[in-house]
Amino acid sequence: MSYMDRTISVIVITYNNENFIEKCLNSVFSQTLHADEVILVDSNSVDNSLQKAMQFKNIFKNLRLCKTVNTGPGNARNLGIKLSQSEYICFIDGDDHLHPDYLKDLFTPLINSIYDLSYCDIFINKAGILSIENHNPKATFLFKNASSCNKMFKKSLFTKNSIWFPEYIWYEDLATIPQILLSTKYSVYVPKALYYYFMNSNSITKTFSRKASDMLIVFDILSKNNLNPKITNFIYVYHGLIGTTYRMIKSKQFSSTEIITTFNDIKKLVTCNVFSREITVNLSFTYLCFLFSFSTIPKTTMKILNLFSNASY
């Protein structure tokens, strides 16, 4: 295989991204290695996202536009996979954008190799402040971030293994990408930040009441797929006991009873001691402190966090 033999599809997922979609698509069509096709799946936006994307259709003939019902990003990702005619696929959300070398640097290690998945670091844009999320497997556990958007996949990882994103829920990546990672024997890390992720600071507080229950659905999906217990235990602790509990507290939409009940429900899924080495070796000191504090003095932990969230900083 060479660059000339490549077949790469970029799947763009958009819903009400009219303020970002032009920057997103400009970054896709400005790649140093061009995609064979770009598939934009719009989940029935009520703004001008699709209309702005149509302007690119007049210029770039390899752009395909598709509108679908809004049953969540999982449905849009699945549709993009099914429509793709390429051997390799990657995803980008409509409010994010790509480094110019994203496709080239992710595809290069896949040429004439045993690898069928590549992934890179992520730039996080929070309120205009950029930071890098490190995905180096030597420095961080791969399952800490289960994003589909900083990776290039062989399409067959999804189709041959019948692995699809769940619909109607948030956290569709967390329900799916661990299955993909465990289905491939050979993946390769590209030590560059090539994906720019825009973090909406208001999204958690505005919608987390729904997201909290969706996380429990994700855990149920993972539990039914007979994955490696070491992996699922870590996901339950990191994304559930720590991540979900923390966001429920910060959202201020839940009573202390609801938060403690959710914590205990998730804890029942963990089949090992939550402070065993197989878990703690992949957690930072800060996360360990939070986990220990909430496990022993949950109401005090919530009061302390709420005090800090009320502070002006």
In this prediction, residue 108 carries a pLDDT of 95
Residue 297, C-beta contacts closer than 8 angstroms, at least 6 positions apart: none
In this prediction, residue 310 carries a pLDDT of 52
Asked if 183 and 271 touch (Cβ cutoff 8 Å), the reply is no
Asked if 298 and 269 touch (Cβ cutoff 8 Å), the reply is no
Pairing, β 151-154 against β 88-93: antiparallel
Stretch 180-200: mean pLDDT: 92
Pairing, β 129-133 against β 117-126: antiparallel
Least confident of 42-56, 212-226, 233-247: 212-226
| 109 has pLDDT over 60 | yes
Stretch 215-223: mean pLDDT: 92
pLDDT digits (tens, 9 = 90+) for 281-311: 989 999 999 999 999 999 999 998 887 765 4
In this prediction, residue 59 carries a pLDDT of 94
Tokens standing for 152? 């290039």
Other Cβ atoms closer than 10 A to 291: 23
In this prediction, residue 141 carries a pLDDT of 72
Stretch 215-227: mean pLDDT: 90
Least confident of 61-75, 143-157, 196-210: 196-210
Tokens standing for 12? 């763009």
pLDDT digits (tens, 9 = 90+) for 118-175: 999 999 998 888 899 988 887 677 788 889 999 999 999 999 999 999 999 989 999 9
| 224 has pLDDT over 50 | yes
In this prediction, residue 205 carries a pLDDT of 42
Q: Output 103 or 212, whichever has higher pLDDT.
A: 103
Q: Output 261 or 2, whichever has higher pLDDT.
A: 261
**What is the pTM for the complete model shown?**
0.91
In this prediction, residue 313 carries a pLDDT of 26
Least confident of 51-65, 69-83, 192-206, 269-283: 192-206
| 14 has pLDDT over 80 | yes
Confidence of residue 210 (pLDDT cuts 50, 70, 90): low
d(CA 207, CA 154): 33
pLDDT digits (tens, 9 = 90+) for 72-90: 999 999 999 999 999 999 9
**What is the residue-averaged pLDDT of the chain?**
90
Pairing, β 129-133 against β 187-199: unpaired
pLDDT digits (tens, 9 = 90+) for 24-58: 999 999 999 999 999 999 999 999 999 999 999 98
β partners of residue 13: 41, 93
| 2 has pLDDT over 80 | no
Q: Which residue is it, tokens 């996901």?
A: 235
